[in-house]
């Protein structure tokens, strides 16, 4: 099946710095990618919808200036956490929509653990 | 508001027992419903979707529009079914974003 890859899988950064997480669709083109945040033992919270070549659509309560999303190509979306704080520490998951094959299917990356110290 | 509700955080059963993981949605339109599974230390995987009307790993789910439910069922649970199960739905408008329920942990005991 289709593969979505995230990098890095784990990252530790200092408070106040910025960190970038990449999400790639390896064998399909994804016009739409989604970014989620998952707190321990909680569900996935949709942060934003990323569309290739246009601005991301953020969910209510998500700071777009803090969580910068770029979807520059059909296979890559990036999430940059700017001026990170310890409360930004979380598991970030991306997913990508494939429009081929059996219809619209959403595939998930393996997730990225962010720890802000 | 568009919402997916999974009322049970944990469902604990013995091997061979029937399983039903509950999922309700609130949306007046025509959503597309999914069940995703997350095994320990693995990424989310699509288990099944209502439009496919298929059975995967013995699991089935039927969309009941009258009850706005999409419960996941399996007649005989196996230990390897132990995982987190998330019900999710796409809602029209914008880019068909996928909204998740809180998840239910299924624990199947020998």
pLDDT at B51: 77
- The yes-or-no verdict on residue B71 having pLDDT over 90 is yes
- How high is the pLDDT of residue B1? 67
Q: Where are the alpha helices (DSSP H) in chain A?
A: none
A-contacting residues in B 9-28 (Cβ below 8 Å): none
CB contact under 8 A, B95 and A57: yes
> Which residues in chain A show pLDDT less than 50?
102
E strands present in A1-117: 4-7, 10-13, 19-25, 32-38, 44-51, 57-58, 67-73, 76-81, 90-98, 105-108, 112-116
CA distance A17 to chain B (A): 28
When pLDDT is averaged across residues B70-87 and rounded to a whole number, the result is 96
Taking CB atoms and an 8 Å limit, are B86 and A110 in contact across chains? Answer: no
Percent of chain B exceeding pLDDT 90 equals 60
Q: Which pLDDT tens digit goes with each residue over B7-59?
A: 999 999 999 999 999 999 987 677 888 999 999 878 888 898 887 777 889 99
Query: Which residues in chain B are closer than 8 Å to A109, comparing Cβ atoms?
Result: 43
Q: Name the B residues in 77-106 with CB < 8 Å from any A CB.
A: 86, 94-103
Quote the pLDDT of residue A103: 53
């Amino acid at each position: 099946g289709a593969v979505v890859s995230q990098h890095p899988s784990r990252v530790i950064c200092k408070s106040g710095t910025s960190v970038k997480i990449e999400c790639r669709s390896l064998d399909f083109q994804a016009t739409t990618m989604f970014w989620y945040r998952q707190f321990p033992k909680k569900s996935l919270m949709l942060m934003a919808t990323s569309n290739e070549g246009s601005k991301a659509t953020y969910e209510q309560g998500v700071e777009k200036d803090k969580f910068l999303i770029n979807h520059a190509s059909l296979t890559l979306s990036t999430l940059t956490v700017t001026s990170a704080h310890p409360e930004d520490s979380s598991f970030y998951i991306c997913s990508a929509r494939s429009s081929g094959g059996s219809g619209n299917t959403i595939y998930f990356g393996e997730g990225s653990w962010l720890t802000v110290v | 508001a568009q919402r997916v509700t999974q009322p049970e955080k944990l469902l604990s059963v013995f091997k061979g027992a029937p399983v039903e993981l509950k999922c309700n949605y609130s949306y007046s339109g025509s959503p597309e419903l999914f069940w995703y599974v997350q095994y320990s230390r693995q990424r989310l995987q699509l288990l099944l979707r209502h439009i496919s009307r298929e059975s995967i790993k013995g699991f089935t789910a039927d969309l009941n529009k009258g009850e706005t439910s999409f419960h996941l069922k399996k007649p005989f649970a196996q230990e390897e079914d132990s995982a987190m199960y998330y019900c999710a739905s796409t809602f029209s408008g914008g880019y068909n974003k996928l909204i998740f329920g809180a998840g239910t942990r299924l624990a199947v005991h020998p």
